[in-house]
Structure 1
Amino acid sequence: MCPPNCLHAVCEKATRRGLLKSGFTLGIAAMAGAGSLAGGARPASAATDTGPLSFSKITDMSHTLYEGFPTFSGERWFEMERPVTWEKDRVNLNRWTLMEHTGTHIDAPLHFSEDGNSVDLIPVADLLCPLAIIDIRAKAAADADAYLTPDDIAAWEAQHGEIPEGACVAMNSGWAAHLKTEKYTGLDAEGKNHTPGFHHEAARFLIEERSVRGIAVDTLSLDRGLASGEFPVHYDWLGSGRWGVECIASMDEIAPSGAYVFVGAPKVAGGSGGPSRIVALH
Protein backbone atom coordinates (compact mmCIF):
# COMPACT_ATOMS: atom_id res chain seq x y z
CA MET A 1 0.00 0.00 0.00
CA CYS A 2 1.39 3.36 -0.99
CA PRO A 3 1.43 5.82 1.92
CA PRO A 4 -0.65 9.00 1.50
CA ASN A 5 0.85 11.48 -0.98
CA CYS A 6 3.62 9.10 -2.01
CA LEU A 7 2.99 9.55 -5.74
CA HIS A 8 2.79 13.30 -5.26
CA ALA A 9 6.13 13.24 -3.44
CA VAL A 10 7.73 11.25 -6.26
CA CYS A 11 6.46 13.74 -8.85
CA GLU A 12 7.71 16.66 -6.76
CA LYS A 13 11.18 15.12 -6.54
CA ALA A 14 11.16 14.46 -10.25
CA THR A 15 10.30 18.09 -10.91
CA ARG A 16 13.07 19.33 -8.64
CA ARG A 17 15.57 17.17 -10.49
CA GLY A 18 14.56 18.81 -13.73
CA LEU A 19 12.90 15.79 -15.30
CA LEU A 20 9.77 17.68 -16.27
CA LYS A 21 11.83 20.51 -17.73
CA SER A 22 13.87 18.21 -19.91
CA GLY A 23 10.90 16.04 -20.88
CA PHE A 24 9.80 12.45 -20.29
CA THR A 25 9.63 9.72 -22.89
CA LEU A 26 6.94 7.14 -22.38
CA GLY A 27 6.91 3.91 -24.38
CA ILE A 28 3.26 3.37 -25.23
CA ALA A 29 3.34 1.56 -28.57
CA ALA A 30 2.69 -1.93 -27.22
CA MET A 31 0.01 -0.78 -24.78
CA ALA A 32 -1.86 1.41 -27.25
CA GLY A 33 -1.70 -1.24 -29.92
CA ALA A 34 -3.44 -3.73 -27.66
CA GLY A 35 -6.65 -1.69 -27.37
CA SER A 36 -9.73 -2.03 -29.52
CA LEU A 37 -13.18 -0.49 -29.80
CA ALA A 38 -16.46 -2.31 -29.59
CA GLY A 39 -19.25 -1.77 -32.05
CA GLY A 40 -17.22 -2.27 -35.23
CA ALA A 41 -15.11 0.88 -34.96
CA ARG A 42 -11.77 0.90 -36.72
CA PRO A 43 -8.86 -0.02 -34.41
CA ALA A 44 -6.75 2.90 -33.26
CA SER A 45 -3.22 2.93 -34.63
CA ALA A 46 -1.98 6.49 -34.17
CA ALA A 47 0.02 5.69 -31.06
CA THR A 48 1.69 2.69 -32.61
CA ASP A 49 2.61 4.76 -35.66
CA THR A 50 4.22 7.57 -33.67
CA GLY A 51 6.27 5.41 -31.33
CA PRO A 52 7.25 6.63 -27.84
CA LEU A 53 5.38 9.62 -26.46
CA SER A 54 7.48 12.56 -25.28
CA PHE A 55 6.06 15.27 -23.04
CA SER A 56 7.34 17.98 -20.73
CA LYS A 57 4.25 18.89 -18.72
CA ILE A 58 1.52 17.08 -16.81
CA THR A 59 -1.80 18.88 -16.30
CA ASP A 60 -4.56 17.65 -14.01
CA MET A 61 -7.88 17.95 -15.86
CA SER A 62 -9.94 16.88 -12.83
CA HIS A 63 -12.01 18.95 -10.43
CA THR A 64 -11.66 18.13 -6.76
CA LEU A 65 -14.72 16.14 -5.68
CA TYR A 66 -16.41 17.58 -2.62
CA GLU A 67 -19.69 17.29 -0.78
CA GLY A 68 -22.18 19.42 -2.66
CA PHE A 69 -20.47 19.08 -6.05
CA PRO A 70 -23.07 20.39 -8.54
CA THR A 71 -25.67 18.07 -10.06
CA PHE A 72 -28.44 18.91 -12.51
CA SER A 73 -31.11 18.00 -9.96
CA GLY A 74 -29.47 19.73 -7.04
CA GLU A 75 -29.27 16.47 -5.09
CA ARG A 76 -26.14 15.56 -3.18
CA TRP A 77 -24.42 12.74 -5.02
CA PHE A 78 -21.34 12.56 -2.81
CA GLU A 79 -21.09 12.41 0.97
CA MET A 80 -18.14 11.58 3.19
CA GLU A 81 -18.35 10.37 6.78
CA ARG A 82 -15.40 10.11 9.15
CA PRO A 83 -16.04 7.07 11.37
CA VAL A 84 -12.33 6.68 12.10
CA THR A 85 -10.34 9.78 13.04
CA TRP A 86 -6.81 10.64 14.02
CA GLU A 87 -7.92 12.12 17.31
CA LYS A 88 -9.85 9.00 18.33
CA ASP A 89 -8.04 6.18 16.57
CA ARG A 90 -4.63 7.51 15.51
CA VAL A 91 -5.56 6.78 11.91
CA ASN A 92 -7.82 8.42 9.33
CA LEU A 93 -10.44 6.39 7.46
CA ASN A 94 -13.43 7.84 5.62
CA ARG A 95 -16.64 6.28 4.32
CA TRP A 96 -17.89 7.52 0.94
CA THR A 97 -21.46 7.38 -0.30
CA LEU A 98 -21.79 8.41 -3.93
CA MET A 99 -23.54 8.07 -7.24
CA GLU A 100 -21.13 6.88 -9.92
CA HIS A 101 -21.63 9.92 -12.14
CA THR A 102 -20.51 12.79 -9.95
CA GLY A 103 -17.52 15.09 -10.09
CA THR A 104 -15.05 14.60 -12.92
CA HIS A 105 -16.06 11.12 -14.06
CA ILE A 106 -16.16 8.59 -16.87
CA ASP A 107 -19.29 7.24 -18.55
CA ALA A 108 -18.73 3.60 -19.51
CA PRO A 109 -20.63 2.12 -22.49
CA LEU A 110 -22.88 0.27 -20.01
CA HIS A 111 -24.24 3.60 -18.74
CA PHE A 112 -26.49 4.00 -21.78
CA SER A 113 -26.63 0.53 -23.31
CA GLU A 114 -28.09 -2.81 -22.31
CA ASP A 115 -24.93 -4.87 -22.58
CA GLY A 116 -22.00 -2.52 -23.20
CA ASN A 117 -18.72 -2.77 -21.33
CA SER A 118 -18.82 -1.85 -17.67
CA VAL A 119 -16.09 0.50 -16.52
CA ASP A 120 -13.79 -2.33 -15.38
CA LEU A 121 -13.94 -3.95 -18.83
CA ILE A 122 -12.78 -0.91 -20.81
CA PRO A 123 -9.34 -1.95 -22.16
CA VAL A 124 -6.72 0.09 -20.33
CA ALA A 125 -5.05 0.84 -23.67
CA ASP A 126 -8.22 2.71 -24.70
CA LEU A 127 -7.77 5.09 -21.76
CA LEU A 128 -4.54 6.64 -23.08
CA CYS A 129 -5.03 8.52 -26.33
CA PRO A 130 -4.33 11.68 -28.35
CA LEU A 131 -6.29 14.70 -27.17
CA ALA A 132 -8.08 17.08 -29.54
CA ILE A 133 -9.57 20.14 -27.81
CA ILE A 134 -12.27 22.01 -29.73
CA ASP A 135 -12.86 25.52 -28.42
CA ILE A 136 -16.46 26.78 -28.47
CA ARG A 137 -16.04 29.31 -25.65
CA ALA A 138 -17.10 32.31 -27.71
CA LYS A 139 -20.48 30.94 -28.76
CA ALA A 140 -21.07 29.31 -25.37
CA ALA A 141 -20.53 32.69 -23.70
CA ALA A 142 -23.20 34.15 -25.98
CA ASP A 143 -25.58 31.19 -25.68
CA ALA A 144 -25.58 28.68 -22.83
CA ASP A 145 -27.46 26.26 -25.10
CA ALA A 146 -24.63 26.15 -27.64
CA TYR A 147 -23.65 22.93 -29.38
CA LEU A 148 -20.33 21.55 -30.54
CA THR A 149 -21.28 20.88 -34.18
CA PRO A 150 -19.79 19.18 -37.23
CA ASP A 151 -18.79 22.67 -38.42
CA ASP A 152 -16.68 23.10 -35.27
CA ILE A 153 -14.96 19.79 -36.01
CA ALA A 154 -14.32 20.86 -39.61
CA ALA A 155 -12.84 24.18 -38.44
CA TRP A 156 -10.54 22.37 -36.01
CA GLU A 157 -9.37 19.96 -38.71
CA ALA A 158 -8.77 22.80 -41.17
CA GLN A 159 -6.26 24.22 -38.70
CA HIS A 160 -4.76 21.10 -37.10
CA GLY A 161 -5.33 18.29 -39.58
CA GLU A 162 -7.60 15.28 -39.30
CA ILE A 163 -8.42 14.17 -35.77
CA PRO A 164 -5.91 11.42 -34.87
CA GLU A 165 -7.13 7.84 -34.79
CA GLY A 166 -7.98 6.69 -31.30
CA ALA A 167 -8.31 10.26 -30.01
CA CYS A 168 -10.40 11.79 -27.27
CA VAL A 169 -12.25 14.86 -28.58
CA ALA A 170 -12.89 17.38 -25.81
CA MET A 171 -15.27 20.33 -25.83
CA ASN A 172 -13.91 23.48 -24.20
CA SER A 173 -16.95 25.66 -23.56
CA GLY A 174 -15.38 27.62 -20.70
CA TRP A 175 -17.81 25.99 -18.26
CA ALA A 176 -15.12 24.79 -15.85
CA ALA A 177 -14.74 28.39 -14.67
CA HIS A 178 -18.38 28.39 -13.52
CA LEU A 179 -18.07 25.44 -11.12
CA LYS A 180 -18.85 27.38 -7.94
CA THR A 181 -21.65 29.43 -9.54
CA GLU A 182 -25.28 28.77 -10.45
CA LYS A 183 -24.36 28.92 -14.13
CA TYR A 184 -22.61 25.56 -13.92
CA THR A 185 -25.92 23.70 -13.70
CA GLY A 186 -27.71 26.30 -15.83
CA LEU A 187 -30.95 25.84 -13.91
CA ASP A 188 -33.60 28.45 -14.74
CA ALA A 189 -36.82 29.45 -12.99
CA GLU A 190 -38.75 26.79 -14.91
CA GLY A 191 -36.44 24.04 -13.77
CA LYS A 192 -34.73 23.69 -17.15
CA ASN A 193 -30.97 23.36 -17.54
CA HIS A 194 -28.91 25.39 -19.98
CA THR A 195 -25.40 24.08 -20.60
CA PRO A 196 -23.43 23.42 -23.83
CA GLY A 197 -22.82 19.94 -25.19
CA PHE A 198 -22.11 17.85 -28.27
CA HIS A 199 -24.66 17.94 -31.08
CA HIS A 200 -25.81 14.42 -31.97
CA GLU A 201 -24.69 14.98 -35.58
CA ALA A 202 -21.17 15.77 -34.34
CA ALA A 203 -21.19 12.56 -32.33
CA ARG A 204 -22.42 10.58 -35.35
CA PHE A 205 -19.66 12.08 -37.50
CA LEU A 206 -16.99 11.04 -34.98
CA ILE A 207 -18.47 7.54 -34.79
CA GLU A 208 -18.88 7.01 -38.53
CA GLU A 209 -16.03 9.04 -40.04
CA ARG A 210 -13.30 9.14 -37.38
CA SER A 211 -11.87 6.34 -35.26
CA VAL A 212 -12.32 8.19 -31.97
CA ARG A 213 -12.24 6.43 -28.61
CA GLY A 214 -13.83 9.01 -26.35
CA ILE A 215 -15.38 12.45 -26.02
CA ALA A 216 -15.13 14.78 -23.06
CA VAL A 217 -16.90 17.91 -21.86
CA ASP A 218 -16.33 20.56 -19.21
CA THR A 219 -20.04 20.49 -18.37
CA LEU A 220 -22.22 18.02 -16.48
CA SER A 221 -23.37 16.21 -19.62
CA LEU A 222 -22.20 15.05 -23.04
CA ASP A 223 -25.62 16.19 -24.24
CA ARG A 224 -26.67 19.83 -24.18
CA GLY A 225 -28.49 20.37 -20.86
CA LEU A 226 -30.82 17.71 -19.54
CA ALA A 227 -34.14 19.54 -19.37
CA SER A 228 -35.76 17.59 -22.19
CA GLY A 229 -34.98 14.19 -20.70
CA GLU A 230 -33.54 13.08 -24.03
CA PHE A 231 -29.97 11.85 -24.38
CA PRO A 232 -29.21 11.33 -28.09
CA VAL A 233 -25.44 11.70 -27.70
CA HIS A 234 -25.30 9.41 -24.67
CA TYR A 235 -27.29 6.70 -26.44
CA ASP A 236 -25.38 6.93 -29.74
CA TRP A 237 -21.91 7.40 -28.31
CA LEU A 238 -21.93 5.00 -25.38
CA GLY A 239 -24.09 2.59 -27.34
CA SER A 240 -21.32 2.35 -29.95
CA GLY A 241 -18.91 0.98 -27.33
CA ARG A 242 -17.07 4.23 -26.65
CA TRP A 243 -16.57 6.11 -23.40
CA GLY A 244 -17.24 9.71 -22.38
CA VAL A 245 -15.89 11.98 -19.66
CA GLU A 246 -17.80 14.81 -18.00
CA CYS A 247 -16.80 17.75 -15.79
CA ILE A 248 -13.19 18.11 -16.95
CA ALA A 249 -11.07 21.16 -16.19
CA SER A 250 -7.90 23.06 -17.14
CA MET A 251 -8.28 22.89 -20.91
CA ASP A 252 -7.13 26.50 -21.23
CA GLU A 253 -3.66 25.28 -20.18
CA ILE A 254 -3.40 22.72 -22.99
CA ALA A 255 -2.84 23.25 -26.72
CA PRO A 256 -5.72 22.24 -29.03
CA SER A 257 -3.63 19.46 -30.56
CA GLY A 258 -0.51 17.48 -29.77
CA ALA A 259 -1.30 16.41 -26.20
CA TYR A 260 -2.24 12.99 -24.89
CA VAL A 261 -4.78 12.27 -22.18
CA PHE A 262 -4.94 9.43 -19.66
CA VAL A 263 -8.27 8.62 -18.02
CA GLY A 264 -7.70 7.10 -14.59
CA ALA A 265 -11.00 5.24 -14.52
CA PRO A 266 -12.04 3.20 -11.46
CA LYS A 267 -11.91 -0.58 -11.86
CA VAL A 268 -15.22 -1.52 -10.27
CA ALA A 269 -16.93 -4.72 -11.41
CA GLY A 270 -20.18 -3.92 -13.18
CA GLY A 271 -19.79 -0.17 -12.77
CA SER A 272 -21.42 2.17 -15.29
CA GLY A 273 -18.73 4.77 -14.65
CA GLY A 274 -17.20 6.60 -11.75
CA PRO A 275 -15.12 9.53 -10.50
CA SER A 276 -11.81 9.60 -12.37
CA ARG A 277 -8.45 11.37 -12.39
CA ILE A 278 -7.90 12.80 -15.85
CA VAL A 279 -4.32 13.74 -16.76
CA ALA A 280 -3.00 15.51 -19.86
CA LEU A 281 0.56 14.81 -21.03
CA HIS A 282 1.88 17.64 -23.22
Structure 2
Amino acid sequence: MVDLTRRVESGMPTYPGDPAVSVEPHATHERDGYRVSEIRLGTHTGTHVDAPAHVDPAGATLDAFDLEDLRFVACVVDCRGTGTGAAIGPDALPERSALDELDALVFDTGWADKWGTDRMLEHPFLAIETARLCAERNVAVATDALSPDPSDHETDLPAHRALCGAGLPIVENVCTLDALPGDVFELLVCPLRVDADAAPARVVARV
Protein backbone atom coordinates (compact mmCIF):
# COMPACT_ATOMS: atom_id res chain seq x y z
CA MET A 1 0.00 0.00 0.00
CA VAL A 2 1.51 3.33 -1.09
CA ASP A 3 0.12 6.45 0.57
CA LEU A 4 -0.29 9.28 -1.96
CA THR A 5 -1.72 11.73 0.59
CA ARG A 6 -0.50 15.10 1.86
CA ARG A 7 -0.42 15.56 5.63
CA VAL A 8 -3.07 17.98 6.93
CA GLU A 9 -1.45 20.50 9.29
CA SER A 10 -1.68 24.11 10.38
CA GLY A 11 -0.37 26.62 7.87
CA MET A 12 -0.09 24.12 5.02
CA PRO A 13 -0.23 25.42 1.43
CA THR A 14 -3.68 26.08 -0.04
CA TYR A 15 -5.06 27.14 -3.39
CA PRO A 16 -5.07 30.97 -3.60
CA GLY A 17 -8.16 32.34 -1.89
CA ASP A 18 -9.09 29.09 -0.15
CA PRO A 19 -9.47 28.98 3.65
CA ALA A 20 -6.33 28.69 5.73
CA VAL A 21 -5.80 25.40 7.57
CA SER A 22 -5.44 25.09 11.32
CA VAL A 23 -5.24 22.06 13.60
CA GLU A 24 -5.36 23.32 17.19
CA PRO A 25 -5.97 21.83 20.65
CA HIS A 26 -9.53 22.08 21.93
CA ALA A 27 -9.07 19.83 24.97
CA THR A 28 -5.77 18.56 26.39
CA HIS A 29 -4.69 15.70 28.63
CA GLU A 30 -3.13 18.15 31.09
CA ARG A 31 -6.23 20.34 31.43
CA ASP A 32 -9.15 18.03 30.62
CA GLY A 33 -7.87 14.48 30.98
CA TYR A 34 -8.39 13.71 27.29
CA ARG A 35 -7.42 15.17 23.91
CA VAL A 36 -9.70 16.75 21.28
CA SER A 37 -8.47 18.84 18.35
CA GLU A 38 -10.29 21.53 16.42
CA ILE A 39 -9.70 21.42 12.65
CA ARG A 40 -10.53 24.33 10.36
CA LEU A 41 -10.08 23.87 6.62
CA GLY A 42 -11.68 24.23 3.22
CA THR A 43 -13.11 21.35 1.26
CA HIS A 44 -10.20 21.59 -1.21
CA THR A 45 -7.46 21.18 1.41
CA GLY A 46 -4.39 19.13 0.60
CA THR A 47 -4.99 15.85 -1.19
CA HIS A 48 -8.69 16.00 -1.97
CA VAL A 49 -11.45 14.96 -4.37
CA ASP A 50 -13.54 17.37 -6.43
CA ALA A 51 -17.14 16.34 -7.08
CA PRO A 52 -19.10 17.54 -10.13
CA ALA A 53 -20.89 20.05 -7.86
CA HIS A 54 -17.61 21.98 -7.65
CA VAL A 55 -18.24 23.55 -11.06
CA ASP A 56 -21.79 22.44 -11.95
CA PRO A 57 -24.73 23.74 -9.86
CA ALA A 58 -26.70 20.63 -10.85
CA GLY A 59 -23.76 18.26 -10.38
CA ALA A 60 -23.53 15.49 -7.83
CA THR A 61 -22.00 16.22 -4.45
CA LEU A 62 -19.36 13.98 -2.98
CA ASP A 63 -21.67 11.86 -0.84
CA ALA A 64 -23.47 10.69 -3.99
CA PHE A 65 -20.44 8.54 -4.88
CA ASP A 66 -20.46 4.91 -3.76
CA LEU A 67 -17.26 3.26 -2.58
CA GLU A 68 -16.94 1.41 -5.88
CA ASP A 69 -17.13 4.75 -7.73
CA LEU A 70 -13.88 5.74 -6.01
CA ARG A 71 -11.95 2.54 -6.64
CA PHE A 72 -10.01 2.61 -9.89
CA VAL A 73 -7.74 0.60 -12.15
CA ALA A 74 -5.11 3.26 -12.82
CA CYS A 75 -1.71 4.00 -14.28
CA VAL A 76 0.72 6.90 -14.12
CA VAL A 77 1.12 9.31 -17.04
CA ASP A 78 4.66 10.69 -16.90
CA CYS A 79 4.42 14.39 -17.81
CA ARG A 80 7.58 15.54 -16.04
CA GLY A 81 9.02 16.73 -19.33
CA THR A 82 6.17 19.21 -19.84
CA GLY A 83 7.31 22.81 -19.54
CA THR A 84 6.42 25.23 -16.77
CA GLY A 85 2.80 26.33 -17.12
CA ALA A 86 2.43 24.32 -20.35
CA ALA A 87 -0.50 22.24 -21.55
CA ILE A 88 -0.40 18.43 -21.49
CA GLY A 89 -1.68 17.33 -24.87
CA PRO A 90 -3.60 14.16 -25.73
CA ASP A 91 -0.45 12.59 -27.16
CA ALA A 92 0.69 12.06 -23.54
CA LEU A 93 -2.17 9.60 -22.94
CA PRO A 94 -1.90 5.83 -23.34
CA GLU A 95 -3.11 4.37 -26.61
CA ARG A 96 -6.89 4.10 -26.84
CA SER A 97 -6.85 0.32 -26.51
CA ALA A 98 -4.95 0.66 -23.21
CA LEU A 99 -7.14 3.55 -22.11
CA ASP A 100 -10.21 1.35 -22.45
CA GLU A 101 -8.79 -0.94 -19.73
CA LEU A 102 -8.38 1.92 -17.21
CA ASP A 103 -10.66 3.81 -14.85
CA ALA A 104 -8.22 6.59 -13.91
CA LEU A 105 -5.01 8.30 -14.96
CA VAL A 106 -2.56 9.76 -12.44
CA PHE A 107 -0.67 12.66 -14.01
CA ASP A 108 2.88 12.99 -12.71
CA THR A 109 3.85 16.56 -13.63
CA GLY A 110 6.81 16.65 -11.25
CA TRP A 111 5.13 19.52 -9.42
CA ALA A 112 4.76 17.57 -6.17
CA ASP A 113 8.31 18.79 -5.51
CA LYS A 114 7.13 22.41 -5.82
CA TRP A 115 4.57 22.05 -3.01
CA GLY A 116 4.78 25.09 -0.75
CA THR A 117 7.25 26.98 -2.97
CA ASP A 118 6.83 30.15 -5.04
CA ARG A 119 6.53 27.95 -8.16
CA MET A 120 3.59 25.90 -6.89
CA LEU A 121 1.11 27.75 -9.13
CA GLU A 122 3.16 27.35 -12.33
CA HIS A 123 2.32 23.68 -12.87
CA PRO A 124 1.51 22.03 -16.21
CA PHE A 125 -2.20 21.49 -16.85
CA LEU A 126 -4.46 19.40 -19.07
CA ALA A 127 -5.23 20.74 -22.52
CA ILE A 128 -8.96 20.81 -23.09
CA GLU A 129 -8.59 18.08 -25.75
CA THR A 130 -6.87 15.85 -23.17
CA ALA A 131 -9.58 16.40 -20.57
CA ARG A 132 -12.34 15.80 -23.12
CA LEU A 133 -10.75 12.55 -24.26
CA CYS A 134 -10.59 11.32 -20.65
CA ALA A 135 -14.22 12.34 -20.15
CA GLU A 136 -15.31 10.57 -23.33
CA ARG A 137 -13.55 7.38 -22.19
CA ASN A 138 -15.00 7.68 -18.66
CA VAL A 139 -11.52 7.90 -17.19
CA ALA A 140 -11.10 9.92 -13.98
CA VAL A 141 -8.08 12.14 -13.42
CA ALA A 142 -5.68 12.53 -10.52
CA THR A 143 -2.78 15.01 -10.51
CA ASP A 144 0.16 15.85 -8.28
CA ALA A 145 -0.49 19.53 -9.03
CA LEU A 146 -2.97 21.97 -7.53
CA SER A 147 -5.39 21.53 -10.42
CA PRO A 148 -5.81 19.99 -13.88
CA ASP A 149 -6.45 23.60 -15.00
CA PRO A 150 -3.98 26.51 -14.79
CA SER A 151 -3.56 28.01 -11.32
CA ASP A 152 -1.38 31.01 -12.18
CA HIS A 153 -3.93 32.98 -14.22
CA GLU A 154 -7.66 33.43 -14.72
CA THR A 155 -9.38 30.43 -16.30
CA ASP A 156 -12.90 29.13 -16.84
CA LEU A 157 -11.71 25.71 -15.58
CA PRO A 158 -12.27 23.89 -18.88
CA ALA A 159 -10.67 20.62 -17.72
CA HIS A 160 -12.80 20.64 -14.57
CA ARG A 161 -15.91 21.30 -16.62
CA ALA A 162 -15.17 18.50 -19.10
CA LEU A 163 -14.44 15.90 -16.41
CA CYS A 164 -17.05 16.95 -13.86
CA GLY A 165 -19.55 17.38 -16.68
CA ALA A 166 -19.09 13.68 -17.38
CA GLY A 167 -19.80 12.90 -13.73
CA LEU A 168 -16.17 12.09 -12.96
CA PRO A 169 -14.33 12.98 -9.75
CA ILE A 170 -10.99 14.80 -9.87
CA VAL A 171 -8.22 14.04 -7.36
CA GLU A 172 -5.70 16.82 -6.71
CA ASN A 173 -2.41 17.19 -4.81
CA VAL A 174 -1.35 13.55 -4.70
CA CYS A 175 2.30 12.88 -3.87
CA THR A 176 4.98 10.13 -3.63
CA LEU A 177 4.29 9.09 -7.21
CA ASP A 178 7.86 7.89 -7.63
CA ALA A 179 6.89 4.86 -5.52
CA LEU A 180 4.33 3.69 -8.07
CA PRO A 181 4.98 0.97 -10.67
CA GLY A 182 5.18 1.50 -14.40
CA ASP A 183 2.14 -0.67 -15.03
CA VAL A 184 -1.41 -0.66 -13.72
CA PHE A 185 -2.36 -0.60 -10.04
CA GLU A 186 -5.46 -0.22 -7.88
CA LEU A 187 -6.19 3.35 -6.77
CA LEU A 188 -8.35 3.74 -3.65
CA VAL A 189 -9.79 7.20 -2.92
CA CYS A 190 -11.45 7.65 0.48
CA PRO A 191 -12.79 11.18 1.05
CA LEU A 192 -14.82 12.38 4.00
CA ARG A 193 -18.46 11.37 3.56
CA VAL A 194 -20.00 14.81 3.25
CA ASP A 195 -22.62 16.56 1.13
CA ALA A 196 -20.14 19.01 -0.39
CA ASP A 197 -18.33 20.08 -3.55
CA ALA A 198 -15.11 18.37 -2.42
CA ALA A 199 -13.39 16.88 0.63
CA PRO A 200 -9.92 15.92 1.83
CA ALA A 201 -9.20 12.27 1.12
CA ARG A 202 -6.81 9.49 1.97
CA VAL A 203 -5.58 8.30 -1.42
CA VAL A 204 -3.80 4.96 -1.57
CA ALA A 205 -2.31 2.85 -4.34
CA ARG A 206 -2.35 -0.92 -3.90
CA VAL A 207 0.65 -2.22 -5.84
Tell me if TM exceeds 0.5: yes
Please report how far the alpha carbon of residue 163 of structure 1 lies from its aligned counterpart in structure 2 after TM superposition: 1.7
The equivalent position to 2:126 in structure 1, one of 194, 198, 201, is 198
Instruction: Say which SS state the counterpart of residue 130 (structure 1) adopts.
Output: strand
* Residue of structure 1 equivalent to 2:118: 182
Counterpart contact for 1:200–1:233, Cα < 8 Å:
yes
RMSD in angstroms over aligned alpha carbons? Answer: 1.7
Q: Call closer, same or farther: CA 1:74–1:112 in 2, change over 3 Å.
A: closer
Counterpart contact for 1:68–1:76, Cα < 8 Å:
no
Counterpart CA distance in 1 for 2:48 and 2:23 is 17
Q: Call closer, same or farther: CA 1:82–1:114 in 2, change over 3 Å.
A: same
**% identity of equivalent residues:** 29
Please report how far the alpha carbon of residue 144 of structure 1 lies from its aligned counterpart in structure 2 after TM superposition: 1.3
Instruction: Say which SS state the counterpart of residue 137 (structure 1) adopts.
Output: coil
Counterpart contact for 2:18–2:42, Cα < 8 Å:
no
Counterpart CA distance in 2 for 1:74 and 1:146 is 23
Higher relative contact order (CA 8 A, sep 6+): 2
Q: Call closer, same or farther: CA 1:226–1:178 in 2, change over 3 Å.
A: closer
* Residue of structure 2 equivalent to 1:169: 105
Counterpart contact for 2:149–2:158, Cα < 8 Å:
yes
Counterpart contact for 1:133–1:256, Cα < 8 Å:
yes
Higher-Rg member (1/2): 1
Counterpart CA distance in 1 for 2:134 and 2:2 is 25
Following superposition of structure 1 onto structure 2, how do residues 178-257 of structure 1 map, counting pairs within 5 Å?
A: 178-185=114-121, 194-208=122-136, 210-212=137-139, 214-257=140-183
Does structure 1 residue 271 correspond to structure 2 residue 199?
A: no
Higher strand share: 2
Instruction: Say which SS state the counterpart of residue 77 (structure 1) adopts.
Output: coil
Instruction: Say which SS state the counterpart of residue 94 (structure 1) adopts.
Output: strand
Q: Which digits, 9 at most, give the CA deviation of each residue in 1:62-82, with x for residues without a partner?
A: 011122222242665311221
Q: Any runs of at least 4 consecutive aligned residues in structure 1 with deviations exceeding 6 A, and if so which? A: none
Q: Output the TM-score relative to the length of structure 1.
A: 0.69
Counterpart contact for 2:138–2:168, Cα < 8 Å:
no
Q: Call closer, same or farther: CA 1:231–1:103 in 2, change over 3 Å.
A: same
The equivalent position to 1:149 in structure 2, one of 60, 84, 89, is 89
* Residue of structure 2 equivalent to 1:109: 52
Q: Matched residue pairs, number? A: 207
Q: Which digits, 9 at most, give the CA deviation of each residue in 1:144-188, with x for residues without a partner?
A: 1122210111xx338xx5124451111101111122422223xxx
Counterpart CA distance in 2 for 1:230 and 1:276 is 25
Q: Output the TM-score relative to the length of structure 2.
A: 0.93
Q: Call closer, same or farther: CA 1:233–1:226 in 2, change over 3 Å.
A: farther
Following superposition of structure 1 onto structure 2, how do residues 71-110 of structure 1 map, counting pairs within 5 Å?
A: 71-73=14-16, 76-110=19-53
